[in-house]
Amino acid sequence: MMIKQQVLLTGSRREIWYALGVAATIHAKYFTRPLIITSMLDGTHKPGSLHPEGLAVDIRTNDLPRALSDNFALELIENLRILGFDVVREENPRHIHIEYNPKGDRIIYTRMDIA
């Protein structure tokens, strides 16, 4: 995994780091180059974005073959949606946006949360 130089990590929530672990594992199935994080708490985002709360991340795909990056995104959706994540394929510029936005009972619990 590589992180673009200006990406702000401080304040990112553990749920996003979990999603990045899943993403890096799936990414390695499709590509030989590392997964690249292009935004976390930095940058300008749409109103209502979860980036400022540390609950969103963007992953570069504009330099990857379209068919493979689509397969990568679909597998991310299959693995993360059930845990309360939204995975969105963005077009301009082409990247994958992942945010932790649980609905109902789809919440990641840790020992600290339930102790």
CB contact at 8 A, 96 and 73: yes
pLDDT in tens, 24-81: 999 999 999 999 999 999 877 788 889 999 999 999 999 899 999 999 999 999 999 9
The pLDDT of 8-35, averaged and rounded, is: 94
More confident residue, 81 or 113: 81
13 phi-psi bin (left φ>0, alpha ψ -120 to 50, beta other)? beta
Using 50, 70 and 90 to split pLDDT, how confident is the model at 91? confident
Identity of residue 25: T
Domain 2-114, what fold?
Muramoyl-pentapeptide Carboxypeptidase; domain 2 (3.30.1380)
